[in-house]
Structure 1
């Protein structure tokens, strides 16, 4: 099968780049499974295992698709009509009533259900890039992983939770101590350390010694690579019950609540969660091979003339509040 993967971004991601990493690993796995992959991506990208075409914004997408392409996999919502079979993965949230293509794939069951749809594929990562994990290593702090300037990620809530504990510490991967971008925030507590946007080996080194992920998001998380990455390193997840979290974070690998006091209590008892169970769960359920095989089934369904969803997906209920509930 000749597969064209389209993403208007640079691959590989220079730092964190969640969607970029997902499509990178998807392409690698599809090639391992015997398929031909071409990326249609932004200039500045490079790849040593697949073909590359740079997106030309002055041309229609339909004019940039190679003739021998069997199926096109958009990783955003493309409006330009094409004459090739295609699917579109929705990696983000939208809050309007547009009709999506019937062959839209969501990244969690929850996200699909919020659009009255059924087609979803969980994101997977190539865990061999993350190295082996020493599950017996001494864990000495908790971590927050995400863009702290984005208020729905609720870094303030994560800090509040840690400060409610007796002596736990938090390393913030994705933020700074002083922030003006999304409302003024200055964190003075010596129990909180900030590392800015980190990726690759630096991020992995910090996760190796973490007791758990503090993830009190205040929106419907579409998927959450921070969750599966943390689990891989043996870190249970302490978050809110929104979006994909109840789907991904079962009671044996984490605790969910929108009340800061309850999360703080669970964090104090983090040793009750098995690092081995967290690691094995991520390894088995959220790997790139499993993701690629699931997408191949979607490709085949479309190539055989089927639709991935019974009707064009549309948001069932618009979110009226800016932030989902959070109680201190």
Structure 2
């Protein structure tokens, strides 16, 4: 099978790169299984295991797809999909606007994410854990961490700072800065909170190795949560709100889910979770190989002539402004 991934962001991944990281690891896993993969992405991209084609701006998608591609896998909703006349799949990675129709062949990234769009079609994201290296379970872990785009209000970095402060632990913020002007003018004075910025690569992995837990009190329905499974991989229990996909990712043995600041702070203070159980949760359920297996089943259904939905899926209610009990 020859699959063409189409995305608006370049590859390989730099720093955060959520969607890019997923389709990179998915493509690599498919190649390992004997399939052919190509990427249609912005100019300047490169890949050592797949062909890379540069997007030609202003040219219809149908005219940019090589003739030998079996299935086109979009990572966004293409405006001229009706002209494609090729088997396709679109992964909806984020929360779409309310009542905005999505393509009939749309798949989501968690059960909750699908359900909120009136669908049952989903494939969990997974990562190539070999690229993350071994975990040092004996390393001292003096701080907790927050991982995400702190400038996004729904990620609630201030809630993470408050929980860490109440619990009496230091906090490392990965994905934000001490001075945040994107949310008005916000400066974090506490010296118990450190900021690593939009960090990636080995620096990010080393910081996760040194953490005793992820504090992640998001205020929206998280579609999936790469930050969660990355943290679990490094043996970090998760202290988060119970929104979106998070109950699907974090079983009771691997963390505490609550919309209450006090309850999360108490859980952080008490700790007591098994780092190896957290690691196993990530590797057993959210690997790139498992993700590839899920997508291959859907690819084959589409190639066999099935349409995933009888009518366009659409999000039924707002995913934001969820309760945070202070």
TM-score for the superposition, normalised by structure 1: 0.97
Name the CA shift for 1:170/1:318 in 2 (closer, same or farther; >3 Å). closer
Asked if 1:111 corresponds to 2:109, the answer is no
Q: Does the 8 A contact of 2:146 with 2:174 survive in 1?
A: yes
- In the alignment, the residues of structure 1 paired with residue 309 and residue 210 of structure 2 have an alpha-carbon distance, to the nearest angstrom, of 42
2:234 paired residue number: 233
User: What are structure 1's unaligned runs of at least 5 residues?
Assistant: none
Q: 1:139 aligns with which of 110, 131, 141?
A: 141
2:85 paired residue number: 83
- In the alignment, the residues of structure 2 paired with residue 54 and residue 226 of structure 1 have an alpha-carbon distance, to the nearest angstrom, of 29
- In the alignment, the residues of structure 1 paired with residue 106 and residue 58 of structure 2 have an alpha-carbon distance, to the nearest angstrom, of 25
1:64 paired residue number: 64
1:158 paired residue number: 160
- In the alignment, the residues of structure 2 paired with residue 243 and residue 235 of structure 1 have an alpha-carbon distance, to the nearest angstrom, of 20
- In the alignment, the residues of structure 2 paired with residue 26 and residue 182 of structure 1 have an alpha-carbon distance, to the nearest angstrom, of 34
- In the alignment, the residues of structure 2 paired with residue 318 and residue 278 of structure 1 have an alpha-carbon distance, to the nearest angstrom, of 31
Q: Does the 8 A contact of 1:175 with 1:197 survive in 2?
A: yes
- In the alignment, the residues of structure 2 paired with residue 77 and residue 212 of structure 1 have an alpha-carbon distance, to the nearest angstrom, of 35
1:324 paired residue number: 322
**SS at 2:85's partner residue?**
coil
Query: Equivalent residues in 2 for 1:1-328 (5 A)?
Result: 1-80=1-80, 81=82, 82-165=84-167, 167-270=168-271, 272-319=272-319, 323-328=321-326
- In the alignment, the residues of structure 1 paired with residue 285 and residue 59 of structure 2 have an alpha-carbon distance, to the nearest angstrom, of 39
Q: Does the 8 A contact of 1:10 with 1:42 survive in 2?
A: yes
C-alpha offsets along residues 294-317 of structure 1, whole Å, 9 cap, x if unaligned? Answer: 100000000001122343211122
- In the alignment, the residues of structure 1 paired with residue 118 and residue 209 of structure 2 have an alpha-carbon distance, to the nearest angstrom, of 39
- In the alignment, the residues of structure 2 paired with residue 74 and residue 286 of structure 1 have an alpha-carbon distance, to the nearest angstrom, of 21
- In the alignment, the residues of structure 2 paired with residue 294 and residue 311 of structure 1 have an alpha-carbon distance, to the nearest angstrom, of 22
**SS at 1:297's partner residue?**
helix
- In the alignment, the residues of structure 1 paired with residue 311 and residue 129 of structure 2 have an alpha-carbon distance, to the nearest angstrom, of 35
- In the alignment, the residues of structure 1 paired with residue 280 and residue 139 of structure 2 have an alpha-carbon distance, to the nearest angstrom, of 16
* Residue 122 of structure 1, CA deviation: 0.6
**SS at 1:220's partner residue?**
coil
**SS at 1:195's partner residue?**
strand
RMSD: 1.0
- In the alignment, the residues of structure 1 paired with residue 196 and residue 278 of structure 2 have an alpha-carbon distance, to the nearest angstrom, of 24
- In the alignment, the residues of structure 2 paired with residue 303 and residue 39 of structure 1 have an alpha-carbon distance, to the nearest angstrom, of 19
Structure 1 stretches of 4+ with a deviation exceeding 6 A read: none
* Residue 255 of structure 1, CA deviation: 0.4
- In the alignment, the residues of structure 1 paired with residue 301 and residue 118 of structure 2 have an alpha-carbon distance, to the nearest angstrom, of 19
- In the alignment, the residues of structure 2 paired with residue 191 and residue 304 of structure 1 have an alpha-carbon distance, to the nearest angstrom, of 57
